[in-house]
């Protein structure tokens, strides 16, 4: 991991107070102060320690399987008339980019002397990635999950249990991700000494957005190296990624943030259409607010109640967006598009048939916008393929064109 030494001068990196422009910070209840303060004071020093970096790099290599390939998708390139490369995070152990972050945070937790890990999860992907590293390190693991999500995501619940985690249902509110976050925070307040909270995306109170982004920045570090080898030029013309909370996008953008020749494209979940009342397109619908202790763009009603988000893809079904992305949106550094459920499904079928790769539904949102950008034939485009589609097979089969609902 290349830890950028002094990024405080940059417009797009976090400042000393934990802000990206007017977004970010740590709007925490007083009872959470000791936990968050401990992290704020220690995280950079730990991440910069050569021993830490060596252990992180070694696990990413030998356990996760990095570097993940950068694959020139020839038939996809032909179709969209550009040089399209896929960054294959789908090939990581556990099937997505999330493990880059959980490996980093478990090593940090050990260095802080923590013996118990808690996490929140929606679809269960982050829960599985957390339970995995807890098994690896022999630490106790408690995962909070909305009780509705527990019913919807049975295979991931089974994985977490097999890995030794305790899955605790969040039964308040809408019984989904944001309620699971609230339960995890409550647990952390009650266990400030021995417990570390592994947050799963580039959101939450400072230092989480910056810390998670730095762990995921291995994605763009590798892209640079791999592109240089393959094309003689380290910078692509475009980097495209889907955005839930924003961690795979943040990692794919990180080493390009201050390089204006690289255009950044973010794709949010348009659900059934941005204005259908069933969407998770936060930058299009959101206003300034505070969610999970961070000041950012957030979908809310007139009187500030958080609106229930919707997406066919559980990993994008979040009513907020990490503060870095709110800032990239507001400054125009990144272009924000959105893809509907239907567009994402079609993009998944297309990639599968053109390249023999079944992508995660989340990643399919990024692929769905390839036809909407005016590429020149020589343009080098990197799409972050954040995860694999195994977990989405039921949805894919159910919606397969020509499937009338009989047995497959
Ligand atoms: C969780 C998840 C996402 C969305 O999370 P980000 O933090 O926005 O990256 C995207 N893709 C996959 C495969 C996921 O599991």
In the predicted structure, residue 53 carries a pLDDT above the cut 80: yes
Please work out whether the CB of residue 245 comes within 6 Å of at least one atom of ligand 1: yes
Radius of gyration of the chain (CA): 20
The whole-number pLDDT of residue 116 equals 98
Shortest-distance Cα residue to atom 3 of ligand 1: 315
Do the beta carbons of residue 294 and residue 27 sit within 8 Å?
yes
DSSP string, 30-83: GGGHHHHHHHHHHHHHHHH-HHHHHHHHHHIIIII-PSPPEEE-HHHHHHHTSE
**pLDDT value of residue 176:** 84
Q: Residue 315: pLDDT band by 50, 70, 90 thresholds? A: confident
Please work out whether the CB of residue 363 comes within 6 Å of at least one atom of ligand 1: yes
| Domain residue ranges in the chain | 27-62+98-212, 65-95+217-399
CATH topology identical between 27-62+98-212 and 65-95+217-399 = yes
Pull the structure tokens for residue 333: 């550094």
Position in ligand 1 atom list of the atom nearest CA 363: 11
Q: What is the mean pLDDT of the chain?
A: 95
The stretch 176-193 carries a mean pLDDT of: 92
The atom number, within ligand 1, closest to the CA of 122 reads 1
Q: How far is CA 138 from CA 113, 164, 202, 398, in A?
A: 13, 9, 26, 39
Token digits for 197? 């909270």
Which stretch of DSSP H or E encloses residue 323? Answer: helix 323-331
In short, whether 76's Cβ falls inside 6 Å of ligand 1 is: no
- Convert the pLDDT of each residue in 121-148 to its tens digit: 988 999 999 999 999 999 999 999 999 8
How many whole angstroms separate alpha carbon 399 and alpha carbon 315? 19
The verdict on the CB of residue 386 being under 6 Å from ligand 1 is yes
To the nearest 10°, the Cα dihedral for 324, 326, 330, 331? 10
Q: 8 pLDDT band (50/70/90 cuts)?
A: low
pLDDT band, very low/low/confident/very high, at 402 (cuts 50, 70, 90)? confident
Average pLDDT over residues 268-273: 97
Burial of residue 17, with CB atoms counted within 10 A of its CB: 0-12 exposed, 13-18 middle, 19 or more buried: exposed
pLDDT digits (tens, 9 = 90+) for 317-327: 888 999 999 99
In CATH, what number does 65-95+217-399 get?
3.40.50.1100
- Measured between its terminal Cα atoms, the distance across the chain in Å is 45
Average pLDDT in the 71-89 region? 98
CA of 97 to the centre of ligand 1 (A): 7
Q: At a CB cut-off of 8 Å and minimum separation 6, what does 197 contact?
A: 35, 117, 118, 119, 184, 185, 187, 188
Q: Which fold has domain 27-62+98-212?
A: Rossmann fold (3.40.50)
Q: Is the CB of 247 under 6 A from ligand 1?
A: yes
Q: What is the DSSP string of 279-311?
A: -B-HHHH-EEEEETTEEEEE-B-TTSPBPPP--
Which helix (H) or strand (E) segment holds residue 347: the answer is helix 341-355
**Beta bridge pairs of residue 268:** 338
Q: Would residue 2 show up in a list of annotated catalytic residues for this protein?
A: no
In sign, the C-alpha dihedral spanning 92, 397, 273, 287 is negative
Q: Which residues are CB-neighbours of 168 under 8 A, at least 6 positions away?
A: 142, 143, 144, 145, 183
d(CA 231, CA 178) in angstroms, rounded, equals: 43
The reply to whether the predicted model has a pTM over 0.85 is yes
Q: Is 364 a catalytic residue?
A: no
Could you count the other beta carbons within 10 Å of the beta carbon of residue 259?
12
Q: Whose CA is nearest to atom 10 of ligand 1?
A: 362
């Amino acid at each position: 991991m290349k830890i950028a030494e002094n990024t405080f001068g940059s417009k797009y990196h976090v400042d000393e107070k934990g802000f990206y422009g007017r977004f970010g910070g740590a709007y925490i209840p007083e009872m959470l102060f000791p936990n968050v303060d401990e992290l704020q004071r220690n995280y950079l020093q730990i991440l910069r320690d050569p021993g830490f970096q060596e252990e992180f790099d070694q696990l990413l290599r030998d356990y996760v399987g990095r570097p993940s390939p950068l694959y020139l998708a020839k038939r996809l390139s032909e179709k969209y008339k550009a040089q399209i490369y896929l960054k294959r995070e789908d090939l990581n152990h556990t099937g997505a980019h999330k493990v880059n972050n959980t490996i980093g945070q478990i090593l940090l937790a050990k260095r802080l002397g923590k013996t118990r890990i808690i996490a929140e999860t929606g679809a269960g992907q982050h829960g599985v990635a957390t339970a995995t590293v807890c098994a690896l390190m022999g630490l106790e693991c408690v995962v909070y999950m909305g009780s509705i999500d527990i019913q919807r995501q049975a295979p991931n619940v089974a994985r977490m249990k097999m890995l030794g985690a305790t899955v605790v249902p969040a039964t308040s509110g809408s019984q989904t991700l944001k309620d699971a976050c609230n339960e995890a925070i409550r647990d952390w307040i009650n266990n400030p000494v021995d417990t570390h909270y592994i947050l799963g995306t580039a959101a939450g109170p400072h230092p989480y957005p910056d810390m998670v982004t730095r762990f995921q920045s291995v994605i763009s570090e590798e892209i640079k190296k791999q592109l240089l080898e393959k094309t003689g030029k380290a910078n692509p013309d475009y980097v495209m990624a889907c955005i839930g909370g924003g961690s795979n996008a943040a990692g794919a953008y990180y080493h390009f943030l201050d390089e204006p020749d690289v255009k950044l494209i973010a794709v949010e979940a348009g659900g059934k259409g941005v204005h259908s009342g069933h969407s998770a397109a936060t930058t299009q619908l959101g206003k300034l607010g505070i969610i999970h202790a961070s000041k950012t763009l957030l979908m809310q009603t007139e009187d500030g109640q958080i609106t229930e988000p919707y997406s066919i893809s559980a990993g994008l079904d979040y009513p907020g967006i990490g503060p870095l992305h709110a800032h990239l949106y507001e400054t125009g550094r990144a272009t924000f598009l959105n893809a509907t459920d239907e567009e994402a499904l079609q993009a998944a079928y297309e990639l599968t048939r053109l390249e023999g790769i079944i992508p995660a539904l989340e990643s399919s949102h990024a692929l769905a916008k390839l036809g909407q950008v005016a590429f020149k034939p020589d343009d080098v485009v990197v799409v972050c393929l954040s995860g694999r589609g195994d977990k989405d097979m039921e949805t894919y089969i159910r919606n397969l064109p020509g499937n009338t609902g009989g047995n497959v």
